[in-house]
Amino acid sequence: MVDQGQPQETAESVEEAKQADHVEYLIDMLFHPDLQVRWKAAEALGEIRDPRAVESLIQALQDPFVDVSWIAAEALGKIRDPRAVEPLVKALESPEKWLRRGSAWALGKIADPRATEPLIRLLKDPKADVRKTAVWALGRIGGDAAAIALQGAKNDPDPKVQQAVVEALSAMEKAKASGGTPAESPAEEKIRASPPPLLPDDV
């Protein structure tokens, strides 16, 4: 077991471990008692993108603090390992907005068709930001079922969701014409950066 130390000291060690790609240390820090250390470790593992971290990041989806769990979801999306699909689908049912949104984003990055139906259900989420991310993810995955669902989402009450639908359908059409995968839209960076750590789920 790694010496966990004081939170500030350990947080600095997490940053050093990220720079050195010390994956085992960062995995251990996912279970540190300090919240800040845990989310920094999850963030670092997402940046390193080592598949050895997948199982531990899946466990971190159940962290009692959403500040950790949504970053764990994002990290799983960056690693793009299919083992994460079913746990991320389950996380779409979380009462926490940020976890639902982070999981939808991750499923869009992995682009596994198993996530299509759960993401379609997420188009009815009460939070517009979550619906928008689900739209983007469905556009990434593609397929007839996603296209039909997105056509229905054109009537979403939120203009930003409506615009996301237009962009997703356009990306799907271009991908179909070229025989490729829907290109990542410029909106993706905003989706990724939007949920700030250590803030309450109050919007």
* Distance in angstroms (rounded) separating the CA atoms of residues 184 and 192: 12
- Kindly report, residue by residue over 60-91, the tens digit of the pLDDT: 999 999 999 999 999 999 999 999 999 999 99
pLDDT at 52: 97
- For the beta carbon of residue 159, count every other beta carbon within 10 angstroms: 9
Domains, the chain: 11-193 (1.25.10.10)
Over residues 47-54, mean pLDDT: 97
Q: What tokens were used for 55?
A: 């199982």
Q: Which residue has the higher pLDDT, 195 or 122?
A: 122
Average pLDDT, the chain: 88
- Rounded Cα distance, 86 and 82, in Å: 8
Q: Does pLDDT of 18 surpass 60? A: yes
Question: Cα–Cα distance between 182 and 171 in angstroms, integer?
Answer: 5
More confident residue, 4 or 76: 76
Give the C-alpha separation, 197 to 199, whole Å: 6
Quickly state the pLDDT bin for 135 (edges 50, 70, 90).
very high
Provide the pLDDT for residue 122: 98
Burial of residue 83 (CB within 10 Å: 0-12, 13-18, 19+) is middle
Residue 180 has pLDDT above 80, yes or no: no
pLDDT in tens, 151-174: 999 999 999 999 999 999 999 999
HSE value, Cβ hemisphere, 13 Å, CA-based, for 16: 6
Whether residue 191 has pLDDT greater than 80: no
Cα 69 from Cα 62, distance rounded (Å):
6
pLDDT at 198: 45
Angle (nearest 5°) at CA 151 between 80 and 191: 40
- Write down the pLDDT at residue 177: 86
pLDDT reading at 126 higher than 90: yes
Q: Cα 160 to chain center, whole Å?
A: 19
